[in-house]
Amino acid sequence: DVKVTQSSRYLVKRTGEKVFLECVQDMDHENMFWYRQDPGLGLRLIYFSYDVKMKEKGDIPEGYSVSREKKERFSLILESASTNQTSMYLCASSKLTEAFFGQGTRLTVV
């Protein structure tokens, strides 16, 4: 069974904190993605990576950075969390077409 695992289901952080969201996949996929999902909006791409140490900005990269030191792990970093970053964060990986998603991290910034 394919698996994408995100480190936390629920997270509460304070404004200004540095936040790390971790994602690990066991399918040897090259492509990994970070999305955020907000009510009434589609999945919005924050960053993606096609290979180790490679990263590309998505549609809404501001306030975020990423790290891909190993093929199986893709980390999303909120440099200084703000309340407008309260959201559901979804990690996904893919080889060519079909994307497999992690269970999501619901982040609340207070």
Partner 1 sequence: GQNIDQPTEMTATEGAIVQINCTYQTSGFNGLFWYQQHAGEAPTFLSYNVLDGLEEKGRFSSFLSRSKGYSYLLLKELQMKDSASYLCASMDSNYQLIWGAGTKLIIKP
Q: Interface with partner 1 by CB under 8 A: which residues?
A: 4, 35, 40-45, 48, 90, 96-104
Under 8 Å between Cβ of 80 and 17:
yes
Tally the C-alpha atoms within 13 A of residue 7's C-alpha that lie toward its C-beta. Answer: 12
Q: How far is the CB of 83 from partner 1 (least distance, A)?
A: 21
| C-beta of 6 vs 75, nearer to partner 1 | 6
Q: Which is nearer to partner 1, 41 or 62 (CB)?
A: 41
In the complex, the smallest distance separating the C-beta of residue 18 from partner 1, rounded to whole angstroms, is: 25
Tokens of 93: 């990986």
Taking the CA of residue 86 as centre, how many other CA atoms within 13 Å lie in the half-sphere pointing to its CB?
Answer: 10
Place of tokens 């394919």: 2
Please say which residue, 44 or 71, places its beta carbon nearer to partner 1: 44
Q: How far is the CB of 58 from partner 1 (least distance, A)?
A: 8
